[in-house]
Amino acid sequence: MMRIILLGAPGSGKGTHAEKLSKHFFIENVSTGKIIRDIIESKSELGKLVSDFVKNGELISDNIVCKIINEKLKSDKCKNGYVLDGFPRTLQQARKLEEFEVKVDAAILIEVSESIIIERLTGRVQCKECGNVYNVKLNPPKVVGICDTCGKNLIIRDDDNVPAIQNRLRIYQLQVAPIVDFYKNKNLLKVVYGKNNIEGTFTDILNVLE
């Protein structure tokens, strides 16, 4: 049983490492960003309500996202553990997890410099089908625009444009310090330095979890 929170700026590698941790420990990968994108895609009332926030790089309301995460974490899929990618994003959300009596074994902060982050996000393309992430400069697919794994088309996320990226980074910088302190005070915080070498960063993550 392993229950992990991943903290880090947009583009720090949370999604990539959440997927790897999920496979390594046989635990559920819970990405609030992915859940929210699926809700928007479904064109439901809730999807319409939140879509402009996401497109502009704003956070959606704590109430909505906390309700979503509570339902997800209580589901059967999460009973063997989970890795949270993109939650909590505010101190209020971190406190809510405690209220929901959600247990956490570690909160891992992936630190990456802002210049690397901007380079990664501006070239990011993603497979809609399997979620694989590429970068047109740093980690291109074998065939332009096509996923190596499943052969489907690659897309640019709606919020991977420069104004939305700047907004997301600004919001992250405003919100992250209190969350980091919250987990530091509980002796749950582990810090790793994200590199462009995915395997190297993943080894560091496994090491801090020991």
Task: Using CB under 6 A, list all residues that contact ligand AMP.
Answer: 10, 32-33, 36, 53-54, 57-60, 65, 86-87, 89, 93, 159, 168
Question: Catalytic site residue 89?
Answer: yes
Distance from C-alpha of 186 to C-alpha of 163, rounded to nearest angstrom: 35
Closest CA relative to residue 9, chosen from 133, 194, 190? 194
Q: Smaller CB distance to ligand AMP: residue 18 or 189?
A: 18
Q: Smaller CB distance to ligand AMP: residue 168 or 190?
A: 168
Q: Smaller CB distance to ligand AMP: residue 1 or 130?
A: 130
Q: Smaller CB distance to ligand AMP: residue 10 or 201?
A: 10
Q: Give the active site residue among 3, 20, 37, 168.
A: 168
- Shortest separation between residue 66's beta carbon and ligand AMP, angstroms: 8
Q: Which residue number is nearest to ligand AMP in terms of Cβ?
A: 33
Q: What does 155-196 look like in DSSP terms, one character per residue?
A: E--TT-SHHHHHHHHHHHHHHHHHHHHHHHHTT-EEEEE--S
Polymer length of the chain: 210
- Shortest separation between residue 12's beta carbon and ligand AMP, angstroms: 10
- Shortest separation between residue 101's beta carbon and ligand AMP, angstroms: 18
Residue 146 C-alpha from the chain's centroid:
23
Residue 163 C-alpha from the chain's centroid:
20
Q: Smaller CB distance to ligand AMP: residue 12 or 201?
A: 12
Q: Give the active site residue among 20, 37, 96, 124.
A: 124
Question: Any residues with CB less than 8 A from the CB of 210 and at least 6 apart, and which?
Answer: none
Question: Catalytic site residue 120?
Answer: no
- Shortest separation between residue 55's beta carbon and ligand AMP, angstroms: 8
Question: Catalytic site residue 37?
Answer: no
Question: Any residues with CB less than 8 A from the CB of 50 and at least 6 apart, and which?
Answer: 36, 39, 40, 60, 64
- Shortest separation between residue 54's beta carbon and ligand AMP, angstroms: 4
Evaluated on CA atoms 51, 56, 57, 58, the torsion sign reads negative
Q: What does 58-83 look like in DSSP terms, one character per residue?
A: PPPPHHHHHHHHHHHHTSGGGTTEEE
Question: Catalytic site residue 67?
Answer: no
**Catalytic residue list:** 14, 89, 124, 157, 168
